[in-house]
């Protein structure tokens, strides 16, 4: 997210031959396959009710919408659930 917000500064620095800031160099590489899961999580997050877990029904509907078969739906569900559990853990920690 920080890269998106500070892209202008990064681009300007590159044109001037300046080294990249450390936070930029430390950013993880996000693979194209990861973008699918991040986008899906964001879409599913919009249906979150009262800060609770993502709805199982919403996850399955998303899989149907994207045309995922049974095997991919199982895989997708495990990944989204893991992301959701981590998200809820961070939110709980941040909110005390």
Query: For residue 43, what are the domain limits?
Result: 31-95
Same structural domain, 45 and 83: yes
Q: What is the pTM of this model?
A: 0.70
Same structural domain, 23 and 50: no
pLDDT for residue 32 = 85
Banded pLDDT at 82 (limits 50, 70, 90):
very high
Same structural domain, 45 and 81: yes
Same structural domain, 49 and 70: yes
Helix (H, G, I), strand (E, B) or coil at 86: helix
pLDDT for residue 86 = 96
Same structural domain, 55 and 84: yes
- Whether the per-residue pLDDT at 8 is higher than 80: the answer is no
Long-range Cβ contact pairs of 45-53 (< 8 A, separation 24 or more): 45/87, 51/88, 51/91, 53/84, 53/88
Count of the separate structural domains present in the chain = 2
């Amino acid at each position: 997210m920080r890269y998106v917000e500070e892209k202008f500064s990064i681009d300007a620095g590159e044109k001037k031959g300046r080294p990249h800031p450390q936070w930029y160099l430390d950013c993880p590489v996000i693979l194209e396959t990861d973008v699918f899961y991040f986008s899906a999580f964001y879409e599913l997050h919009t249906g979150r009710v009262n800060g609770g877990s993502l709805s199982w029904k919403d996850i399955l509907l998303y899989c149907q919408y994207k045309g995922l078969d049974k095997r991919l739906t199982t895989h997708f569900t495990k990944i989204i659930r893991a992301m959701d559990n981590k998200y809820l853990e961070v939110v709980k920690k941040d909110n005390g």
